[in-house]
Amino acid sequence: MPSPVLPHPSAETTGNGAPPLAVADPVRNGQLSVSPSDRAPRSPLLAKLTSLTSIATMAALGLMIVGVIAVVGGSYDKKVVHDQLVPQKIFFPAATSPALLPGIKQYAGQQLTTGSQAKAYANNFINVHLSKIAGGQTYAQVSAAALAAPTNTKLAAEKATLFQGETLRGLLLNAWGWSLVGTIATLAGWILIALGAVLFLLPLANWQVNLRRHALAVAA
């Protein structure tokens, strides 16, 4: 018979007086509780990179837009160079021509239409011939000599030839320079588009690696 003075044994004690081990209730408030190990992302670095999803998405769209503009601009630049060179109707010497020099053999018989061809024609054809006029002197040197001897017809002819040759060479090198700018712009544009696409896909990768795993764990 229990004594009214002594307290009754607690219902939460075992037969030897020790409290029972606490068992975590997997269901709390009608929802499945997930352990901290399940909440931890599988790839913390990827989770950090995509934590600012909206900012990353806007940056990705910005990179791709700038990349598209660069590609379009580079293509337009090279088209302008092409359209300016074609009407000049400049042709490289034929393969059988004695005027064909080693530096332009790969373009034998072709019409000059691209920046790379313009550079080869300017440096490996025009410049080679100009170096043989007036003992290799430049237009500035021959012009100064012609001014000092206005009656010297040979200097006057060399002056006119050097002026025409160096002017054409400068125009062709200028066309090559703009063509190079277009090529670099096009390459940079494709790189920006690729970087933007990668940045745009990072949130999807984060969902696949981290968030989807967490959602499956909760649903289970």
Comparing 160 with 201, the larger pLDDT belongs to 160
13: Cβ contacts below 8 Å, ≥ 6 apart: 19, 20
Mean pLDDT of 29-44: 49
Nearest to 204 by CA among 6, 18, 50, 19: 50
pLDDT digits (tens, 9 = 90+) for 171-210: 999 999 999 999 999 999 999 999 988 887 776 665 565 5
Which amino acid, residue 145?
Answer: A
Q: What's the one-letter identity of residue 184?
A: I
pLDDT mean over 62-80: 94
* pLDDT reported for residue 204: 66
**Percent above pLDDT 70 for the chain:** 67
Each residue's pLDDT tens digit, 79-103: 999 999 999 999 999 998 888 998 9
- Which tops the pLDDT comparison, 95 or 33? 95
Residue 126's pLDDT is 95
Largest CA distance in the chain: 147
Whole-model pTM: value is 0.67
Helices (H), the chain: 36-39, 44-49, 53-85, 115-121, 127-130, 139-148, 153-206, 212-219
The rounded radius of gyration (Å) of the Cα atoms in the chain is 40
| Contact assessment for residue 118 and residue 179, using Cβ atoms and an 8 Å cutoff | yes
Share of the chain above pLDDT 90, in %: 55
Partners of 31 in the beta sheet? 28
Provide the residue type at 211 as one letter: L
Highest mean pLDDT among 6-10, 35-39, 164-168: 164-168
